[in-house]
Amino acid sequence: MSNLSPSQLQKNAILKDLQTLVNSGVLGSVFADDFSKANPFDRVWGNFPSVVIIPPILSGNQYEDQANNTREYTWYLMCVTTSENIDKDDPTYMEGLVDSIVALFDMDATLQGTANAGLYPTLLDAPGIINPPDSSTSYIVFFISFKARVLVKAGVQ
């Protein structure tokens, strides 16, 4: 039995799922951010495009019955690339990148069993350009978010 919390198990599953896109060449790198830096762009990046897993928000904790609660975690994936890393010959490159990431979670609707109450719709925040202070690099960034629900043991005393 694992001593990891539900959100830790989910993060590991998300990392493992996204690593398949790195292995297939869709993504250049993936990692989890622990907020060790105030500016998320103040880092040495791996290959682009890169996906950064942001720690979740506990967006719900609902009583189910005498023995179970349903926790709902909202996850955010920050997808980062640069204009130099976008295929200039493919005007649908960004759409393909978005669809590849979203489809990954369509195919793993329980995050390898860590979201046993289901994965809820994926939302996309539109791509935009970010120019961090003190940086000569401009980044193209979009966010994908989804809710992962898990039944956890509870008790009535």
Strand partners, 62: 70
Catalogue all structural domains in the chain, each as residue range(s) with its CATH number. Answer: 6-153 (3.30.2000)
pLDDT in tens, 68-120: 789 999 999 999 999 899 888 999 999 999 999 999 999 999 999 999 999 98
In percent, the amount of the chain with pLDDT more than 70 equals: 96
Averaged pLDDT, 126-142? 84
* pLDDT score recorded for residue 157: 58
pLDDT beyond 80 at 135:
no
The C-alpha atoms of residue 123 and residue 28 are separated, in whole angstroms, by: 22
Q: Do residues 12 and 4 lie in contact, with contact meaning Cβ atoms separated by under 8 Å? A: yes
Alpha carbon 150 to chain centroid, angstroms: 17
Please determine, for residue 28, whether its predicted confidence score (pLDDT) is greater than 80: yes
Phi-psi domain of 59 (left: phi exceeds 0; alpha: psi -120 through 50; beta: other): alpha
Backbone angles phi, psi at 21, to 5 degrees: -75, -30
